[in-house]
Structure 1
Amino acid sequence: MRDHTSWGATEAECHLSYPCDQHISQPYDSHHRAIDVAAPVPLAFRWLCQLKVSAYTYGRQGRSPRTLTPGVERLAVGQRFLAFDLVEFEENRHLTGVTYPAARRRYGQIAITYQVEPRGENASRYVVRLNSARRKGVGRPLGDLLATGDGFMMRKQLQTLKALAERDAAGAQMQEGDG
């Protein structure tokens, strides 16, 4: 991890605009996470939809489903995922949310986009931008600490979703080879 603001993301990815940029009104700091996934976009996106049922990170591993939950891919604005309410989405492209009121009181105003980028027919890339409102005064160190902690948590989350998507993609390829 280069620093607490970026893990795995390229400079170009850090300079792009994302849907979450339109959903935060205060000055903010951006944090980026990215990882390549050896799975096609629809499967990788389907695993992102699982964030509606579990965080897929430390402490939640044993309770996080290891198979796709039926119906979770049916998205609607206002649905909750993690500490966010879904405010925008595009199937097979992105989930974008803002902190719901109780989470906003605890963590501040945050907008996030989980995006899937194509990398050929059977490969993709998760790219996440998290925009957090800048904290002032004594709250600034707490904001930096939360961003650093989030970096480790989201890294685990993306690695877990990657592993599950790749497992399912490999299983589908084996079934195609048997047929």
Structure 2
Amino acid sequence: MKHVPPPLDTYYRGITVHADRAVVWRWLCQMRVAPYSYDWIDNYGRRSPRTLTPGADDLEIGQPILVIFQVVGFERDHHITVQIKPGLRWFWGNTCCTFRVADSADGDGCRLLMIMTVHDRPGRLARATGLYQVRKYFFPWAEFVMVHKQFRTFKMLAEKTARENPSKEAGNAGVIPPG
């Protein structure tokens, strides 16, 4: 991965979603608004919105996303790549995630995929305090649980959007206008 130097660990996640790729990608853009996993843990107890936020899909390089990440690459209806903000890498490592939406092999919906790459060389502070060992053990398990919940939530919301708005333009389906 071009954003993360070796040595690295790589984790993969995926789920089938019975909705158009544009609808699923649009829900992924909602990560700019909220995390969509366990809100009581990573959204300060606030529920992630169940409607699409206007403008959330207006992505730009460097934008904050998922609290501790920033956008480093994207292609509309295909992928969003995010990386841990530089000031947080001392603990989280140089972590980069690509959330990809791909056509399903059977033509029924699409696949939502995540590839997470973690640079596995701790900073001095993490080594000196022992925090690296905690992160090294805890991170893969926490990531598995949180992304699993996030993907199930996106699946449910995208499939609901597809059912309720079949005739609307996919990328704008379910958007509540401001005001």
Shorter-chain TM-score category? 0.7 to 0.9
Could you say what secondary structure the match of 1:22 adopts? coil
| Paired AA for residue 81 in structure 1 | I
**How many residues are matched?**
155
Within the candidate set 150, 154, 177, 1:157 is matched to 150
When normalised by structure 2's length, the TM-score is 0.79
Q: Which residue of 2 aligns with 1:67?
A: 51
- In the alignment, the residues of structure 2 paired with residue 141 and residue 168 of structure 1 have an alpha-carbon distance, to the nearest angstrom, of 39
Alignment check: 8 A CA contact 2:91 2:135 kept: no
- In the alignment, the residues of structure 1 paired with residue 107 and residue 62 of structure 2 have an alpha-carbon distance, to the nearest angstrom, of 32
Shift of residue 44, structure 1, vs aligned partner: 0.3
Q: How does 1:136-175 map to 2 (within 5 A)?
A: 139-140=132-133, 142-173=135-166
| Paired AA for residue 117 in structure 1 | A
When normalised by structure 1's length, the TM-score is 0.79
| Paired AA for residue 77 in structure 1 | I
Q: How does 1:45-84 map to 2 (within 5 A)?
A: 45-58=25-38, 59=40, 60=43, 62-82=46-66, 83-84=68-69
Q: Which residue of 1 aligns with 2:80?
A: 95
Could you say what secondary structure the match of 2:153 adopts? helix
- In the alignment, the residues of structure 2 paired with residue 142 and residue 54 of structure 1 have an alpha-carbon distance, to the nearest angstrom, of 23
Shift of residue 150, structure 1, vs aligned partner: 0.9
- In the alignment, the residues of structure 2 paired with residue 62 and residue 78 of structure 1 have an alpha-carbon distance, to the nearest angstrom, of 25
Alignment check: 8 A CA contact 1:56 1:160 kept: yes
Range 29-38 or range 129-138, more displaced: 129-138
Q: Percent identity?
A: 32
Q: Which residue of 1 aligns with 2:113?
A: 127
Shift of residue 54, structure 1, vs aligned partner: 0.4
Aligned alpha-carbon RMSD (Å): 2.0
- In the alignment, the residues of structure 2 paired with residue 157 and residue 121 of structure 1 have an alpha-carbon distance, to the nearest angstrom, of 23
